[in-house]
Amino acid sequence: MKKILLVLAVLGGMGLLQWALTAFLLDGPVRQGPYYYQILMLAGINVILAVSLNLTNGITGQFSIGHAGFFAIGAYVAASVSVYAGPTLQGSLAGLPSFAADSVLLLVASAAGVAAAAAAGWLVGMPSLRLRGDYLAIVTLGFGEIIRVLILNIDAVGGARGFTGIPRYSNFFWVGLGVVAAISTVRHIVRSSHGRALLSIREDEIAAQAMGVAVTRHKVTAFVIGAAFAGLAGSLFGHFTMYLHTNSFTFVKSFEIIIMIALGGLGSLAGAALGAVVLTVLPELFRGFAEYRMVIYALALILIMIYRPQGLLGKGRFLGRGKDK
Amino acid sequence: MTALLRIENLTRRFGGLTAVKNVSFSVKPGQLFGLIGPNGAGKTTLFNLVTGVYAPDEGAIVLGESSIGGLPPHRITENGIARTFQNIRLFASLSVLDNVKAACHMRQSSSLFSGLFRTRAFHAAEEGIDSFSRRLLELLHLDGLAAEEAANLPYGHQRRLEIARALATQPRLLLLDEPAAGMNPQESQELMHLIRRLRDEFHLTILLVEHNMKVVMGVCERIHVMDHGESIAEGSPEQVRRDPKVIEAYLGGE
Amino acid sequence: MTAFLQQLLNGLSLGSIYALVALGYTMVYGVLRLINFAHGDVYMLGAFAGYYASKLLHGRLNGGLPEAAVILVVSMIACALVGMLIERLAYRPVRRASRLTLLIVAIGVSLLIENLAQIFFGADPKFFPQILPERMFEWRGVLFTNQQILVLATAVLLMAALTLFIRRTRTGKAMRAVAHNPDAARLMGINVNSIISLTFALGSALAAAGGILVSLNQPSIDPLMGLMTGIKAFVAAVLGGIGSIPGAVLGGLILGLAETFVAGYGSSTYRDAIAFFILIIILLCKPEGLLGKGQVEKV
């Protein structure tokens, strides 16, 4: 009963916020309202990405640099569903009011994107998660790039021209729900027996195995859940920007997500969310220094790892110790 | 009485070196069994074979009725063998309590699904894990330190936490890898009491590899001696102590 | 047959560049257990150092081999200094931290160099001067250029020098000792810090040589040229067995040949994917690489 009330409260709150944002930013009195709205949306999408990557990189200690690949799969698959199957679906939903029909379409497309990203996560994770840490990093980087190159060569999704004509279905309501879902999923996992199993893998794989933790299976599970949420983020992204290009999904994007969680503190949930928001908003404040943006990112990353490896909010003792971790 | 653990003609080679050569012995249920031998005798390799870190080249390892040789470590733990590590491998940045809880995962966890949706089964399982873990900590006199980070514990406490963590997997057979290493005489005295108590309270069988002769002779009921990868003697502490082969192995023949 | 020999020659010349860059990865991995993500960027800096050096030299040396040699040496020295600087400023402070921390720092250094280079050098490609006018030779129908020969000869010379240095000199032996066990090496009186510094210097100098040699053949250089080459050279190092010096050379040559043959006989669009394909296969089947030694973690 309490749970149902909670869910209703979240839904209601998000709906109310959506209404308020539309009234004030999009149709309302705030100059540059749409611009702020856009930043808000991108921040939300980045929070989903950072929180989900943190499950693999921070909680399980398996360093993946291929998150942008799953983000891309989610974005392209969901967008394809909307573009190619959308009109047919729309016909069968003709009786519904437009916001309800849009929501149903977004849910269907996102479900496809999430499923595809999760499946890709499983395919990539099964073989590569057996590898030691730094090899895993480079293999995931490789898979991420392979995914991008493959998409680039598919003409039906625009290839090098980019994918246009995607309907704008996502809004603050859905991104907000995505954020809530990502955070509560990761939080519930971490604070459960499964989460302790994942943490034990991060701390000492050999000991974890000796304590009966099926290491590979748990790693793959965490990886697949992370990939699924990256897919969700991709779907929300594509249905917001209405245009996709593979340049948004290079490994620089993966690095960006890593910087977000490193800034917030590897393994810290609030840190990942904070890092994502800060790194979305900050560059907007320093628009004039756009070309220095990546320089500042990179310098910040190095300095954080040297002087505060646990990030802003993390405890991350595991980062500071031992050569062989 | 049938044996709980049977090692039959076990052999393991590393390149040209035969670390364990045709070793056989068996451990009866409830026994305190010691495995000793000078450095390089092959004790650690044997230990790693039993716990699944290495797969045997030849021979069999049988626990109860099932052959476990060559299974991956977590499957062996599932079969009822738990271990401690000589060079302590705790989950260093987790709390003392969470170290033990993590080891409960195999037997007591609810499904991932019920964890996500916080079902009744999840809460029941978590409560079970919590009370069981706290009981283990109490038993090993670590209950005051439950919230402490494992890495911050003093050495002796870390060794005890290793034992608590191993017990959390609810083993039939407990393997202790040099549990007295680095302990002063008083601490090893306490360790011997503890080992006996564990055996009695948990109806455990304990196999221990140990360098500290005082501990081995004081606590073990039966001792198997290895040298250069081969078995050279087995018997009660008294028999082993008098065995000329054992004396030679330890004091050096040539 | 002629076509085959032609591809073989092209593949070897490409492969020897990968090999030069792969050596730096493998040497640094040997002493620090670190994938030095910034290594590909040092290779890029090598090419740019050569570019600016040749501008400064312009007119003072009349092209040809002497000028090429001067540019090569200048760029190698410059990059050796950059490599040492990177190690001193970025890696040394976190050397004792976890490998994860080290890896993140390496990613940071790589991003930093790439973006600084885009600001200082400009993001557009630059044209490396034609120091050695291209001349074609023919031998039984196989065409080769003086540049290809220069690339091969220089690469072989540098690798031979490196091997001699590591096998024969005291410093080289100290380097191997550090790779084997840094703590024991320190106890033996080896100055581990300076050995690591030297390893970076040597690796970076070789990468710079790779950058110059590649620019002689393909004169368009840009600040992101090190990305792909860096990753491919890393793949070459893993293929040969990371930590193994002959392995890096072998891996580089195999990768160069594989790319050339696939591009020559198959489709060139997937040329860049071959490296990752090889990487994934090798890691799944023989993760220690062709000439590497497997490591078993002690329990």
pLDDT at C144: 80
Q: Which residues pair with B27 in a beta bridge?
A: B5
- Averaged pLDDT of chain C: 87
Distance between CA atoms of residues C32 and C98, nearest Å:
11
Q: Which tens digit of pLDDT belongs to each residue from C263-297? A: 777 666 667 778 878 887 887 788 778 887 765 55
Local structure of B36: helix, strand or coil: strand
pLDDT at C298: 60
Cβ contacts of residue C295 below 8 Å, gap of 6+?
Answer: C288
Instruction: Report which residue type is found at B68.
Output: I
Local structure of C2: helix, strand or coil: helix
Q: Which of A167, A164, A146, A145 is nearest to A156 (CA)?
A: A164
CB C243 within 8 A of CB C60: no
CB B205 within 8 A of CB B172: yes
Q: Where along chain C do its domains lie?
A: 2-285
Torsion angle of the four alpha carbons C259, C262, C268, C273, in this order, in degrees rounded to the nearest 10: -60
- Neighbour count for residue C72 (Cβ, 10 Å): 24
Highest average pLDDT, of A178-182, B151-155, C62-66, comes from: A178-182
Residues 111 through 140 of chain A touching chain C, CB cutoff 8 Å: 127-128, 131-135, 137-139
| Residue ending a domain, choose from B130, B161, B192 | B161
CB A127 within 8 A of CB A216: no
Phi (first) and psi of residue B24, to 5 degrees: -135, 135
Highest average pLDDT, of A47-51, B138-142, C273-277, comes from: A47-51
| Chains touching C, CB cut-off 8 Å, 3+ pairs | A, B
Q: Which tens digit of pLDDT belongs to each residue from C196-237? A: 999 999 999 999 999 999 988 888 899 988 988 888 898 899
pLDDT at C295: 59
Q: Which residues pair with B227 in a beta bridge?
A: B230
* 3-state secondary structure string across C122-185: CCCCEECCCCCCCCEEEECCEEEEHHHHHHHHHHHHHHHHHHHHHHHCHHHHHHHHHHHCHHHH
pLDDT at C148: 84
Name which of B91, B103, B112 is nearest A194 (Cβ-Cβ). Answer: B112
Torsion angle of the four alpha carbons B129, B134, B135, B136, in this order, in degrees rounded to the nearest 10: 90
Local structure of B15: helix, strand or coil: coil
The radius of gyration of chain C from alpha carbons, rounded to an integer in Å, stands at 19
Does B73 have pLDDT greater than 90?
yes
- Averaged pLDDT of chain B: 91
Q: Tokens for B223? A: 């001792």
A2-307 is classed in which CATH architecture? Orthogonal Bundle (1.10)
Confidence of residue A97 (pLDDT cuts 50, 70, 90): confident
pLDDT at B250: 81
- A147 touching C, CB under 8 A? no
- Neighbour count for residue A2 (Cβ, 10 Å): 6
B86 is a domain residue: no
Local structure of B60: helix, strand or coil: strand
Tell if the CB–CB gap between A295 and C103 is shorter than 8 Å.
Answer: no
Higher pLDDT, C212 or B212: C212
Tell if the CB–CB gap between A302 and C284 is shorter than 8 Å.
Answer: no
Local structure of B10: helix, strand or coil: strand
Q: Where along chain A do its domains lie?
A: 2-307
| Chains touching A, CB cut-off 8 Å, 3+ pairs | B, C
| Residue ending a domain, choose from B161, B189, B214 | B161
Higher pLDDT, A152 or A74: A74
A231: DSSP letter: H
Distance between CA atoms of residues C142 and C140, nearest Å:
6
Distance between CA atoms of residues C182 and C190, nearest Å:
9
Highest average pLDDT, of A92-96, B126-130, C147-151, C293-297, comes from: B126-130
Sequence-ordered strand ranges (E) for chain B: 5-14, 17-27, 32-36, 58-63, 66-67, 81-83, 173-177, 205-209, 222-227, 230-235
Q: Are residues B145 and B99 in the same domain?
A: yes
B89 is a domain residue: no
Q: Which tens digit of pLDDT belongs to each residue from C113-125? A: 999 999 999 888 9
Tell if the CB–CB gap between B82 and A209 is shorter than 8 Å.
Answer: no
Question: Which residues of chain B does A189 touch, with a Cβ-Cβ cutoff of 8 Å?
Answer: 112, 115-116
B103 to chain A, closest Cα gap in Å = 5
Q: Are residues B183 and B246 in the same domain?
A: yes
- What does the pLDDT average to over B88-93? 93
pLDDT at A308: 84
Tell if the CB–CB gap between A211 and B82 is shorter than 8 Å.
Answer: yes
Question: Which residues of chain A does B169 touch, with a Cβ-Cβ cutoff of 8 Å?
Answer: 211-212
- Averaged pLDDT of chain A: 88
Confidence of residue B35 (pLDDT cuts 50, 70, 90): very high
Give the domain range for residue B66: 5-80+171-251
pLDDT at A321: 46
Confidence of residue A319 (pLDDT cuts 50, 70, 90): low
pLDDT at C7: 85
Distance between CA atoms of residues B4 and A325, nearest Å:
36
* 3-state secondary structure string across A133-200: HHHHHHHHHHHHHHHHHHHHCCHHHCHHHCECCCCCCCCHHHHHHHHHHHHHHHHHHHCCHHHHHHHH
Tell if the CB–CB gap between C234 and A138 is shorter than 8 Å.
Answer: yes
Distance between CA atoms of residues A86 and A107, nearest Å:
12
Tell if the CB–CB gap between A197 and B107 is shorter than 8 Å.
Answer: no
- A160 touching C, CB under 8 A? no
Confidence of residue A27 (pLDDT cuts 50, 70, 90): confident
B88 is a domain residue: no
Confidence of residue A227 (pLDDT cuts 50, 70, 90): very high
Does A324 have pLDDT greater than 50?
no
Q: Which of A146, A150, A147, A232 is nearest to A186 (CA)?
A: A232
Q: Are residues B176 and B246 in the same domain?
A: yes
Fold type of domain C2-285 = ABC transporter involved in vitamin B12 uptake, BtuC (1.10.3470)
B203 is a domain residue: yes
Quick one: closest CA in A to C298, which residue? A206
Q: What is the CATH number of the domain that holds B185?
A: 3.40.50.300
Confidence of residue A192 (pLDDT cuts 50, 70, 90): very high
B122 is a domain residue: yes
pTM of the model: 0.88
Quick one: closest CA in C to A254, which residue? C107
C293: DSSP letter: P
C46: DSSP letter: H
Torsion angle of the four alpha carbons C149, C153, C154, C158, in this order, in degrees rounded to the nearest 10: 160
| Residue ending a domain, choose from B106, B133, B161 | B161
Phi (first) and psi of residue B209, to 5 degrees: -100, 130
pLDDT at A317: 55
Does A302 have pLDDT greater than 80?
yes
- Choose the weakest-confidence range: A128-142, A306-320, B57-71, B120-134: A306-320
- What does the pLDDT average to over A95-107? 88
Tell if the CB–CB gap between C276 and A146 is shorter than 8 Å.
Answer: yes
Torsion angle of the four alpha carbons B51, B52, B54, B60, in this order, in degrees rounded to the nearest 10: 90
Tell if the CB–CB gap between A211 and B102 is shorter than 8 Å.
Answer: yes
Q: Provide the domain count of chain B.
A: 2
- Choose the weakest-confidence range: A138-142, C8-12, C137-141: C137-141
Which percentage of chain B shows pLDDT scores above 90?
A: 67
- C284 touching B, CB under 8 A? no
